[in-house]
């Protein structure tokens, strides 16, 4: 659910059909947030013609309708609205705070759309208080070095500043090659290395981390490098903190061997000795599935079902839900648990 975006008001749309009233607010409770708002329907006919949702955004600066870098961290669909609709909406919905340790300007947005897609920002309300989210974070300096086949990661510390009884989900330290510096949401690039480092109790931390990991890929091109601290949640892994490194990293494309030259003349067939029995034709070996070669985005349902340990019902669910940006998204499918996904990761790819 964690998304990175630009928030801006919808141009050329009437914003008078429904408005956010003076009474509105939000309150976080773990991975959920309660959204409260008084909604004023001033044009029932126009309001009933669309679907509506309340959204909570974290922005770099207070929102004034102009484009601003922001992360949508919660959305509460409220359906169609008309004159008979309740004037007060109050409900809990899933929340996924943005990564990093910066303060954010919080904005309540009234959005319209259809079929569950709410992309028309028709009204909004800024909250006066800046919000800083309490979540696992990197402490001090971080670093990395890349060899031919290995990656070394270092961090002065990792801490969980939540309350003492709040045990984090499994934390993962990951190095990524990205097309642009990381800001928020699902990383879009190539994962170079990753290590699950365990869960961390609230008000506790680790110091002096140094990890030597296998290098998972050497993607051709020049990349921005980011170290991500991610936490396992009900949505899969979400990024809690990150470091963008100043110097980019480049790899050259791997050389491709040229095909063997074809003979210019047909070779003459040697005469068979008299009485010699013909040799039996050698059947080609049956192709087998190589670990990591079954693509969850491209393989057929039969190919997925043939993967050892992957139930047919889950293979059908993969077909219905794809495409996927990361393998971790598979855990959201019915029938796919964390343990099953860990066992299957060696046999699946994007």
pLDDT of residue 258: 52
Phi first, then psi: what are they for 48, rounded to 5°? -75, -15
pLDDT of residue 196: 94
What percentage of the chain exceeds 90 in pLDDT? 46
Region 156-163: what's the mean pLDDT? 94
pTM, to two decimals: 0.63
pLDDT of residue 15: 54
Torsion (CA) 187, 191, 193, 199 in degrees, nearest 10:
30
CA gap 306, 308 in Å, rounded: 6
Q: Encode pLDDT of 286-315 as tens digits.
A: 333 334 468 888 888 888 888 888 888 888
Tell me the pLDDT band of 345, cut-offs 50, 70 and 90. confident
CA gap 332, 236 in Å, rounded: 7
- Return the exposure string of 52-74: e unless at least 16 CB atoms fall within 10 Å of the residue's CB, then b: bbbbbbbbeeebeeeebebbbbb
Q: Encode pLDDT of 108-138 as tens digits.
A: 999 998 888 898 898 999 999 999 999 999 9
pLDDT of residue 11: 59
What percentage of the chain exceeds 70 in pLDDT? 85
For the cut 90, the answer to whether the pLDDT of residue 34 exceeds it is: yes
Contacts of 80 (CB under 8 A, 6+ apart): 47, 48, 49, 50, 51, 52
Q: Tell me the chain's radius of gyration from C-alpha atoms.
A: 27
Tell me the pLDDT band of 85, cut-offs 50, 70 and 90. low
Q: Encode pLDDT of 37-80 as tens digits.
A: 999 888 888 888 888 999 999 999 999 989 998 989 899 998 88
Whether the CB-CB separation of 176 and 243 falls below 8 Å is answered with: no
CA gap 29, 133 in Å, rounded: 12
- Mean pLDDT for all residues in the chain: 83
Tell me the pLDDT band of 206, cut-offs 50, 70 and 90. very high
Task: Please tell me whether the peptide bond between 110 and the residue prior to it is cis, using omega within 30 degrees of 0.
Answer: no
36, β-bridge pairs = 25, 90
Region 7-23: what's the mean pLDDT? 75
pLDDT of residue 268: 41
Domains and CATH numbers, the chain: 5-131 (2.60.40), 137-251 (2.60.40), 294-349 (1.10.150.320)
Region 81-86: what's the mean pLDDT? 70
Q: Encode pLDDT of 215-268 as tens digits.
A: 999 999 999 999 999 999 877 899 999 999 999 999 998 655 555 555 544 434
pLDDT of residue 347: 83
CA gap 257, 259 in Å, rounded: 6
pLDDT of residue 185: 83
Tell me the pLDDT band of 96, cut-offs 50, 70 and 90. confident
CA distances from 255 to 7, 11, 217, 251 (A): 43, 50, 15, 12
pLDDT of residue 176: 97
């Amino acid at each position: 659910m964690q998304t990175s975006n630009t928030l801006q008001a919808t141009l050329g749309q009437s914003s008078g059909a429904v408005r956010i009233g003076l009474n509105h607010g939000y309150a976080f409770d773990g991975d959920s947030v309660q959204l409260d708002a008084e909604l004023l329907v001033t044009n029932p006919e126009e309001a009933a013609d669309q679907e509506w949702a309340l959204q909570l955004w974290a922005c770099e600066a207070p929102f004034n309708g102009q484009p601003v870098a922001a992360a949508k961290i919660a959305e509460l669909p409220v359906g169609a609205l008309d004159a008979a609709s309740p004037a007060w909406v109050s409900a809990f919905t899933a929340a996924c705070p943005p990564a990093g340790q910066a303060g954010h300007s919080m904005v309540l947005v009234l959005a319209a759309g259809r079929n569950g897609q709410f992309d028309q920002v028709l009204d909004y309300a800024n909250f006066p208080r800046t919000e800083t989210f309490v979540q696992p974070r990197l402490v001090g300096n971080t670093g990395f070095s890349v060899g031919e086949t290995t990656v070394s990661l270092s961090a002065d510390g990792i801490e969980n500043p939540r309350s003492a009884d709040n045990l984090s989900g499994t934390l993962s330290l990951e190095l990524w090659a990205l097309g642009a510096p990381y800001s928020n949401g699902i990383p879009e690039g190539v994962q170079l290395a990753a290590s699950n480092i365990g869960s961390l109790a609230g008000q506790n931390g680790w110091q002096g981390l140094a990890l030597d990991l296998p290098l998972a890929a050497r993607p051709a091109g020049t990349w921005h490098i980011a170290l991500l601290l991610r936490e396992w949640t009900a949505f899969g892994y979400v990024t809690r903190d990150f470091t963008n490194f100043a110097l980019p990293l480049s790899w050259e494309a791997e050389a491709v061997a040229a095909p063997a030259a074809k003979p210019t003349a047909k070779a003459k067939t040697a005469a068979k000795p008299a009485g010699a029995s013909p040799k039996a034709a050698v059947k080609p070996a049956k192709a087998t599935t190589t670990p990591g070669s079954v693509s969850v985005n491209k393989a057929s349902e039969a190919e997925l079902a043939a993967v050892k340990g992957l139930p047919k019902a889950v293979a059908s669910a993969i077909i219905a839900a794809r495409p996927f940006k990361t393998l971790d998204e598979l855990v959201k499918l019915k029938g796919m648990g964390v343990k099953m996904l860990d066992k299957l990761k060696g046999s699946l790819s994007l």
